Amino acid sequence: MSVSDDEQTVSSGDRNRHRKLAVAGATGLVVVAGVGAVLLTNSDDTTALPRLDAAPPIVVPTSEPTSAAAPSLTAAVAVPSAAVASADSASSRTTKSATPTTPAVDQGTVRKEIETARAKAAREGHPLQRPITAPPPAVLKNADSLVEETRDLPDGGTMRIVSARYDLSRQREMLLAADEGKPAGGARCTQNIRFAQGAKPTMRPNMLLCWRITEDRSVVVLSVSRGADPAQTRTLNALDTTWDRLG
């Protein structure tokens, strides 16, 4: 092959390459133009897909806000505790200040004052009198049978009736009897009354104590009138009625 033939061959190859590039470029322009046409067409089409806006950026919190919030939370919790402690302290101070202080009492001085008062009362005719006390009670079979009743008398006095299904000797109103009484019907009565242990018995015209007592049944009646001799008949009638009721 001659040099001229080679040049023709090279020129022919170059032309072929240029033709391919031109076709490719034209095709690219057509494609780009097509896409532009599609975009232009969609911009006027009312049925276009909804626009998707860009989502807001997601902010990932760092560790600094958490560490910064911790002191404020601790402070928020600590403030009520301090307030409660302050309130408790104030309440304690108020309670202590409101509590009156009692001065110490000398027991020897108190006892001396009591003895002086007793001696003075005795000199004036009012010696110390201790109440009459009953002996320690024995074991009773019918301890819950005790009944006490109080009635008003026509003259303004009172009548007290005590009954039980056991022996009332040396119990309750029977401690007032200063003697064994006198027989009256099926009972015994007295007006000789003693109000305090060791005191001198005294006849009480306005009082009448009557009783009937056995081992398993007792009735005691104390009548107190206002300035008049209590009716013995009325007292004994109340005693007999209560006795019969005990059976």
pLDDT digits (tens, 9 = 90+) for 6-20: 444 444 555 555 555
* Residue 235 near residue 157, CB atoms below 8 Å: no
Q: Which DSSP category does 195 fall into?
A: -
CA distances from 34 to 22, 23, 46, 227 (A): 18, 16, 20, 140
- What pLDDT does 3 receive? 42
Contact 191, 235 (CB under 8 A): no
Which structure tokens are listed for 209? 């104590």
Q: Which helix (H) or strand (E) holds 208?
A: strand 207-213
Given this model, what pLDDT does residue 125 score?
A: 67
Measured CA to CA, the distance from residue 112 to residue 116 in angstroms comes to: 6
Reference 145, options 128, 163, 125; nearest CA is 163
Cα distance between residue 13 and residue 15, in whole Å: 5
Element (H, E) at 158: strand 158-164
What are the two backbone dihedrals, phi and then psi, of residue 135, each rounded to the nearest 5 degrees?
Answer: -70, 160
Ranges of the chain whose pLDDT falls below 70: 1-105, 125-140
